[in-house]
Amino acid sequence: MDNNLKRELSKIEIPIEIHERSKLGINKAKSEMGGKLKRFTKKRLAIAVMSACLMLPTGAFAYQALLADDLYGSFDNLKKHAVNLTMEGYLLFNAKLNQAKGDLGKDEFKQFKDLLSVFTSAKLDYGDKNGNIDYSQVPAEPFEEIKAAMYEIQPYFDKLNGLPSSKEVLTAEEYEQYIQALIIYETTMAQLGVSSPPEVTEIPIESQEAFSKAQEYLNYVNEKQIEL
């Protein structure tokens, strides 16, 4: 009996649709858990997305650390430019850089690096101690150059964060607005001299509305990316 049972049961043929049925069951459960799941993913993505968005605003951490060795030579040298930079941040973004090497093709990576160097030099020229740039103080010509690089680089950040490219998710017009929102965000932070996103109440009243709008728009884009 005992030796036979397994052999016996193995005679029960397995229908090919069995995988499909497992999937159906799991998908149904997932769809019903929607709220719970979404919250979880949202939370996690909020972190990822924040690092994507804030890589622009808190650029000192991002670009300068990322390309530290290539562009500045060493951590110490880099630190002169961005006092808030920590060793941890440096290592973290070096890791990001390595990840970028893996995730992006050779040509893509080269382009990514070139774009980054536009930022890093902009940060050095115009950034505050946190590496944030007050774009309202940047002369027109370099501003256009930085903005153009921003257009190109955001999809790379999305990719590194495992999100669909914002450039593809959004229409051309929306994307333009998205970049504008990022610029407003960073400008506000630079004007306040803070290194993390401020509360609305900390912001001068005349800038509050623009900042809230920018923030809302960034959230909207994030939602859109998550949903895909």
> Using CB under 8 A as the criterion, which residues of the chain lie in contact with another protein when the complex forms?
1-2, 4-15, 17-19, 21-30, 32-33, 36-37, 40-41
Residue 56's φ and ψ, nearest 5 degrees, are -75, -60
Minimum gap (Å) between residue 6 Cβ and another protein: 6
Minimum gap (Å) between residue 160 Cβ and another protein: 20
| Ordered DSSP codes for 143-206 | HHHHHHHHHHHHHHHHHHTT---HHHHS-HHHHHHHHHHHHHHHHHHHHHT-SSPPPGGGS-HH
Minimum gap (Å) between residue 134 Cβ and another protein: 40
Q: Name the residue nearer to another protein (CB basis): 24 or 46.
A: 24
Three-class SS of residue 120?
A: helix
DSSP state of 105: -
Q: Name the residue nearer to another protein (CB basis): 13 or 76.
A: 13
Minimum gap (Å) between residue 95 Cβ and another protein: 21
Minimum gap (Å) between residue 225 Cβ and another protein: 18
| The amino acid at 53 | C
Minimum gap (Å) between residue 164 Cβ and another protein: 17
Q: Name the residue nearer to another protein (CB basis): 36 or 106.
A: 36
Half-sphere CA count of 200, side-chain side, radius 13 A: 10
- Which residues lie closer than 8 Å to 166 by C-beta, 6 or more apart? 154, 155, 158, 175, 178, 221, 225
Half-sphere CA count of 129, side-chain side, radius 13 A: 6
Three-class SS of residue 127?
A: strand
Three-class SS of residue 133?
A: strand
Q: Name the residue nearer to another protein (CB basis): 35 or 139.
A: 35
**59 neighbors 102 (Cβ within 8 angstroms):** no
